[in-house]
Amino acid sequence: MEKRGLSLAEIQDVPQGNLILLAGHPGAGKSTFCHQMVLNNVATECPIIFITTEQSPSSILGRLKEKGMGEPAPGILNFVDAFGQTVGLELVERPDTVSATCVDLNSISMATTKLQERIGKKGILLAFDSLTSPYLFSGVEVTKFMRLFLSKFAAEGNSVVALVDEGCGKEEELGAMMSVADGIIKMEIKEDSRTINVVKHPKVRPTRIEAPLGRIEPGRIGIKSLFDNNLFDVSAMRQFIKAWMHGDEATLRRESGDYVNLFWPNLAQWSGMLWDPKRFPKLKYDLNKEDSSTTQEMVRFFPWHRRLLQKLMPKNFSKVKNMRKMIKRYAPYLQQEGSGIVEYLEDISKTDEHYFRVYESFDCCAFQNVGFAMAAYLPSNTAGGCEGAAKEEREWNAIETKCIGLGDPYCEFKVVPGEIAELRDSQEAADSTIIEKIHDRLMDRLMGFMLDGKPLVDRPRLGSDIHLHAVGHAFSFPYAAGERYQMALRMGGTKVGKEVGEHLMEAGLGEDEAVQRVINFLKHCKVGKVAAGETIKIEENCESFYMKLMKLKSQEPSCFFTTGFLNGVLSVVKNKRVRETKCIGAGDPYCEWEII
């Protein structure tokens, strides 16, 4: 029965002695909802312990201050930072903060208990944002943690709200988490509003509330804005594009070359998918499409003859003959960079419906028959190219119709103007079984290389390497992508690195030998010029190479995946962690990690 007139304030007040689970897909507004709970408690000077696993305490404070929070009274707002140590960020000493790690649930319990004793009274709000990252490291142990620690914490006269992403794991395991909770609130986005579904609550009847849709992607710069604000280095961009078009090597990376083993960007891409399977595919699609739609802005960097040819481009690409003209021009570049061998299927294409076949797609070549359409680059890249190269402004979209990942002998995709109804569902089609299969395939190949010297991946015609241009798309320009994408790379890299470390130790390798195998892997992939000693140093690191093309430099190190991966490995092998102290993206001559 629905209760009319229920306010958000009523469900944002967690009764003492209760554990509320706030669930929903990434981007549904769970963190915003949680922040409001925290603000309510700050306003009434009720003590808070905020366990953060996805952002630093300083970032959380920034969000709260944006929402109007002043300076909290001493002892009111306290943090368990289970983020920085997990992903290898520098830990800032704060009197209100105790560090922990998502890898070890016991460390979170101990840090929380320490703050609880420091506060010295009941009535604490424990805000846990979120359980998703610990779940991806510890699996079903999170349910036990909820029962033995969070529920006990609540029963001692406190309140607990814990957030979790739906779709991050098996449904039965999420169901087990829900069974522990005293209340369940589900959030989802519908059109231009958020729906808050109170499934059960200790003080409120089941009901649904519609709330306005707020900001979803904090920190997102946007690729077009980089052009609008003239943030590219003209000379570097012209040199890079000229070399890409002519197949020249070593324009940006004089010693390492401008090609990278495709396994490395695929490992980053699918590690991000492992952490955020429901949202990551759409983030990648939108970013790749946006980048490729900037053709008109990119023209200024083209050689003069390419600028002239661009002026001769058709008004639009609706007709088969016009699309054929564009693909004839660009397909050789795609093959040259190693992203795939692309053919335009003129015989089955028609006006406003175009089909393409791809052989040896770098996205898909190692994932035969995993049950999922894998291609993230070429479909969205082509759709964006149709938008950017044509003189007529028009939206285009693309969807795979065949894929090596679905068991087909090659990949095919369809490109049409306007929306594709089934596109969203296809991007969210990977359930936990498929994700595990993809992850297992990656780990089998990686450990086969590290332990037995087997090849990582190879293709009959294109070989194992792809150009830095395609690598940039695989990492999807995280400096422009926003915090959610950056987080997926950080956490995905940490999880995969931890698993690599565990496999190496289980194989009986010593600590130093295990680290050396990882360094050899990075060198084999041509990640950059790698050296390991008291620090780990990567010159010409491929993850941050795009920043060489820009005037803009990041405020902090931005090798999100590499840092997470190294941190995960060393946390297991040497009980150490890393912190990136220098980064090409921040204007340093190389990337370097301190081992601490």
CATH code: domain of residue 486: 3.30.1380.20
Q: Which of the listed residues 429, 461, 482 is the one where a domain comes to its end?
A: 429
Decide if 230 is inside a domain.
no
Same domain, 467 and 450: yes
Same domain, 425 and 400: yes
Decide if 260 is inside a domain.
no
C-alpha distance across the termini of the chain, in Å: 56
Same domain, 344 and 465: no
Decide if 263 is inside a domain.
no
Domain count across the chain:
3
Q: Which of the listed residues 392, 407, 429 is the one where a domain comes to its end?
A: 429
Is the CB of residue 217 less than 8 Å from the CB of residue 202? no
Amino acid identity of 253?
R
Quick count: other Cβ atoms within 10 Å of Cβ 375?
25
Decide if 267 is inside a domain.
no
Same domain, 180 and 326: no
Same domain, 297 and 353: yes
CATH number at residue 54: 3.40.50.300
Q: What is the mean pLDDT of each run of 10 residues along the chain (596 residues)?
A: 51 89 87 88 86 92 83 90 88 88 95 96 94 91 96 96 87 92 89 80 84 46 66 75 66 84 93 80 85 73 66 80 88 90 96 96 90 89 85 88 95 95 84 85 95 94 91 70 76 90 96 96 96 94 81 74 92 88 88 91
Is the CB of residue 577 less than 8 Å from the CB of residue 567? yes
Q: How big is the chain by its Cα radius of gyration, in Å?
A: 25
CATH number at residue 294: 3.90.1520
Same domain, 338 and 419: yes
- Paired with 482 in beta bridges are none
Same domain, 481 and 516: yes
Same domain, 150 and 73: yes
Q: For residue 535, what are its two tokens?
A: 């620090």
Instruction: Calculate the alpha carbon distances from 275 to 65, 107, 342, 415, 523 in Å.
Output: 28, 21, 31, 29, 26
Residue 411 phi/psi, 5° resolution?
-105, 145
Same domain, 297 and 417: yes
Parallel, antiparallel or unpaired: strands 591-595 and 535-539: antiparallel
Decide if 118 is inside a domain.
yes
As a whole number of angstroms, the distance between CA 211 and CA 214 comes to 9
As a whole number of angstroms, the distance between CA 518 and CA 496 comes to 12
Residue 18 phi/psi, 5° resolution?
-125, 150
Nearest residue to 100 (alpha-carbon basis) of 143, 153, 137, 45: 137
Decide if 61 is inside a domain.
yes
pLDDT for res 218: 42
Decide if 271 is inside a domain.
no
Decide if 117 is inside a domain.
yes
Quick count: other Cβ atoms within 10 Å of Cβ 415?
23
Instruction: Give the total residue count for the chain.
Output: 596
The whole-model pTM stands at 0.79
Spell out the alpha helix ranges (H) of 260-360: 263-275, 280-292, 295-298, 304-311, 320-337
Same domain, 398 and 447: no
91 lies in which domain range? 8-212
As a whole number of angstroms, the distance between CA 359 and CA 257 comes to 25
Same domain, 404 and 424: yes
Q: Which of the listed residues 398, 429, 460 is the one where a domain comes to its end?
A: 429
Spell out the alpha helix ranges (H) of 453-545: 468-475, 478-481, 483-506, 511-524
As a whole number of angstroms, the distance between CA 467 and CA 471 comes to 6
Q: Which sign, positive or negative, has the C-alpha torsion 51, 55, 59, 64?
A: negative
Same domain, 194 and 324: no
